[in-house]
Amino acid sequence: MNTLNHFDTPQLELLHRGKVRDSYRAPSGERLIVVTDRLSAFDSVLETPVAHKGAVLNGLAAFWFDKTQHIIPNHVISLLDPNVTLAKEAEPIRVEMVVRNYLTGSMLRGYQQGQRTFSGVTVPDGLTKHQQFPEPIVTPTTKEESDREITPENLVAEGWVAAELYEKMRVKSLELFNFASQWMAERGIILVDTKYEFGLLDGELILIDEIHTPDSSRFWSAADYAQNPETAEQMDKEYVRQWLIANKQDGQYPRALTPEVSAEATRRYLDIYERITGAPLPTGDETTAGDDVQARLVGNLVRAGIMKDA
């Protein structure tokens, strides 16, 4: 099955190559974001790409950016290809706004070790694994080589963001989270936690990066959670993480996935896209006909005037 593991062209200036997304300067001066099929886990990019993953992430982000325009403007100009977004160039704010509604993940691990205050938010004793909070909480982190918990007061004191701007980011993050939580609840999905990134465009706060995707969020099946909260199925890339943990040898995680695990990961990404949007991924079967994902992408960029036909 064809996948987009790597994209490179001398025609465009590379701005940043991330674990999953590559950013280029478009001829118009805007930012071209290519979402690949690479998958990262435990701070490492695996050798095996996951088919359709990039299109799922790009399509879901576009879906949510469109649905939340009434809450806050965003950086999207248009989708030029299932894996490519043309975006406005904003000045990023180097803070991740993490919104949590359940005790799980890294917060659960800290809680089990006796921690009760997270990024300035104190939670009570006696909470159980995967327990829902009375209301969502915001636990910001810095955007550094290794993200770290930090209080809003220290974010301001260290110069990451002004106090008034942070408060606006906090309010908008909760509005976005509550809106998406209700949407997903109606479709049998629990939005457990997520992160938002913001930027400034002509002095205006806008939403950037991605929003409510399986890579930036944690999802549970509402039916599974109702049966047993502590064993609720995670509808994101946790499936791959658990496989890596189960197959760890000599302290090292596998660098590649088996064909079976890769295919199951693809199925799960396509499933969460359809469950959230109500429709199959438009390109969900493109590769079964022998189409080449990279050739399609280049063709679309040529038609959009971003690249020349070489």
The fold for domain 91-231 equals: D-amino Acid Aminotransferase; Chain A, domain 1 (3.30.470)
Extents of the domains making up the chain:
91-231
The pTM of this model reads 0.93
Looking from the CA of 258 toward its CB, the CA atoms found within 13 Å total 6
Beta-bridge partner residues of 100: 137, 193
Q: What angle do CA 247, 225, 126 make, to 5 degrees?
A: 95
In tens, the pLDDT along 31-71 reads: 999 999 999 988 889 999 999 999 999 999 999 999 999 99
Q: How far is CA 59 from CA 131, 143, 228, 272, in A?
A: 31, 24, 31, 12
In tens, the pLDDT along 76-107 reads: 999 999 999 999 999 999 999 999 999 998 89
Q: What angle do CA 213, 216, 222 make, to 5 degrees?
A: 65
Q: What angle do CA 83, 200, 41 make, to 5 degrees?
A: 45
In tens, the pLDDT along 155-187 reads: 999 999 999 999 999 999 999 999 999 999 999
